[in-house]
Structure 1
Amino acid sequence: MRGATVRVARLVRLTGVSSVGTRVFVARLAGTIVFDPLGDQVGRVRDVVVLVRPKGPPRAVGLVVEVAGRRRVFLPLTRVTSVDAGQVISTGLVNMRRFEQRAFETVVVGELLDRTVDFVDGSGQASIEDVAIELQRNGDWVVTKLFVRRHRPGKSGLLRRRGETVMVTVDEVTGLARRSAEQGAELLLAQYEDLKPADLADVLHDLGRARRLQVATALDNERLADVLEELPEDDQVAILQGLELTRAADVLEAMQPDDAADLLGELPDAQQAELLGLMEPDEADDVRRLLAYEDNTAGGLMTTEPVILGPETSIASALAHVRRQDLTPALASMVFVARPPLETPTGRFIGVVHLQRLLREPPHDAIGSIVDTDIEAAPAEAPLLTVTRQLATYNLLAMPVVDAEKRLLGAVSVDDVLDHLLPEDWRETDDDEHPAPVTRPTSGGGRG
């Protein structure tokens, strides 16, 4: 009975249709939960798709909704009965085909926020901070108001975005269709501040090429490095080549060495050498060593920065090392024990200590007393299949890679192996193999 009561309560709460004149601000709408007619959650709103027309205000045609599996799909506004900053109610099934923006479409959060517009009266420029859509008598949702911040002239004629904020109608400004190279990205990034790197990478991938570079450039080096590691190779290369050389080198330094090597391997030799020359020598040396190995070998798969400690290290200290925030769960699953030097290539490799064993032993004991010496290290030339079999056979999340002198060169983690086993375009492929095609009219109520 309790389940039925809850369902009825949800249905009561979700009943209703947006009335004419309903106004919704898109920046506040982002993140709102979308419900189906029975009150079950479908996903969350991530953006609004509008058509910027030569005459008349832009018309909103649909919502970009993030559903399970981080997939973004298109929900036509003709299939929405109620929309406000608290909830969105759809009328029926959602087509699960991945949203792909068409040339004549504009996404509000991704492209209009931070865009510079000109006041028709000649009083200057402003940046868009929010966009209001309003329901019309004919059932269309159109952009009616813009919340903007005026620009003030700064020193040397530069424009600063510290002016007053005002609400204007769309016919009071021009430039909504402008594809400005100087468009900012602060408001877009604010919408996705809490996203994991893989989720933010999905957002960037869905943007147009120019806008993707604008947003990527606005990220700090560490955040951009994390996001680049999650993007398809084509996007990685386009973003890196769009950065200033010194900035590109800084971002490569912030990436995991194996990911940086993979990315540099996609660049022309001359550009690769130039970027390596701008990197810190120690960082560049690690990447050069990785570039020397074939892609589908243990050496080509490994990272040179696992947790490497000497046998005299205490268990308490080892646990502190595996708590490092920059470690993946796979690399945090074990400590690699070697003789000095402890930078790769190390002294003679001794063995590994598993995280579970660290948690079971007294914290003052030395890790040398609990080393597992039965884990067979892979030679750098070992093929991908050999590495995969060994990880599977011994249920490992990571395994050591050594040279002929048994010096530790690095470690291969299970996520590195998965990246190479999956199809090259796995980041861009939906879970559904061949969904039915979607009809997408250029006018009317939506894409079908």
Structure 2
Amino acid sequence: MSKKLFGTDGVRGRANTWPMTAEMALKLGAAAGRYFRRDGSAAHRVVIGKDTRLSGYMLENSLTAGLTSTGMNVLLVGPVPTPGVGFLTRSMRADLGVMISASHNPHEDNGIKFFGPDGFKLSDEAEAEIEAMVEGEIQLAEARMIGRAKRIEDGRGRYQEFVKTSFPAGLRLDGLKVVVDCANGAAYRAAPEVLWELGAEVIPVGVTPNGTNINENCGSTHPQTAAEAVITHGADLGIALDGDADRVMILDENGMVADGDQFMALLASRWAADGRLKGGALVATVMSNLGLERFLEAKGLRLERTAVGDRYVVERMRSGGFNLGGEQSGHIVMTDYATTGDGLAAALQFLAEMARSGQKASELTHQFETVPQLLKNVRYTAGAQPLEDARVKAVIQASEKRINGKGRLLIRKSGTEPLIRVMAECIDAALLTEVVDEIAATLASAG
């Protein structure tokens, strides 16, 4: 069946509207519980983590009710980064992991992500089966088989100890002053504590969540806040995480932001030099800059491109046996350490390079010259199909001809929001702006 509930990263939407309602969370929990209890045995458990959104309480309770109604035992770990749920699912020998988060979206939104017993996000096929169960009658457990719920108080601490194992033994962060912006999200305690334990002088930002300020003028989507803190405190580095801490932006000592492409270039080249880069390739999406591809080729490495979405990056990494991948937006996936993007673990890799090399952040964040790239997001009315509009098709076709041989054009729907993303790269900066502006304006008039 074609999926309706699940997008590119679980189920997501505005809290208290379909599909992010208590009723739907109850059904999803029951369906997921039934999916993982098809053999009828009793020894099944699920880990549930969340970020700091107000609606997380509602969805956590509803998911717990649905899961226990089908006989699943629920382990509640509270606010913890998304990669922490992947880790804890494996560590606690659970059959299922659930993260309640809408990542970088505003607090009004929320989402539900499912992880399998291996700590990786569920496949499209598994999600489709769960969705089919939601639409049908879900077989509930007998009264004596109803599951239990238990709060795990040290889940965050377990994740913190684990993530520190990604930092090289024998290295410390003594003498480094680090700003860490936690976006008032899931890592608001974990990230500052880990950095301090490794020896850094920590300037915490975005660590006072109140349920409605997650990602609000802070975090990886608003790095200006971290940049100001870096300058004010004379820090050596800024780390900006998003609401569920599965992505990161690095800021140098001047407050300048390096995107995920520069970060991945650094890791790929250093790992290759150390003989750690499996398959001689980095996995990234179609959004990554052409400059990254040229940088890797010059070092005898490959760039394996996928569709947009960290799940597709992970799928290609697993199928090809690669261990490093990510997105320009700051999802850095290192399967030697984590099953999904881990902003804190990635930041520790960058800090390790600073400690080892003695170089400034500004030296490490500039690995290659980018090809001019421009991205515009065009919001459209729910239910509209602006990409099917004849005017839009015509302007896209004409733009492709204009840019041919000088760059590339990529237009796609967002998998998490009602947005059309218009991205182009072109060695002619003026032409680049003209093309993107024209397509965006036409889309806006059609949507």
**TM-score band, normalised by shorter chain:** under 0.3
Given the two structures, how large is their TM-score scaled by the length of structure 2?
A: 0.27
In our comparison, the structure showing a higher alpha carbon Rg is 1
Given the two structures, how large is their TM-score scaled by the length of structure 1?
A: 0.27
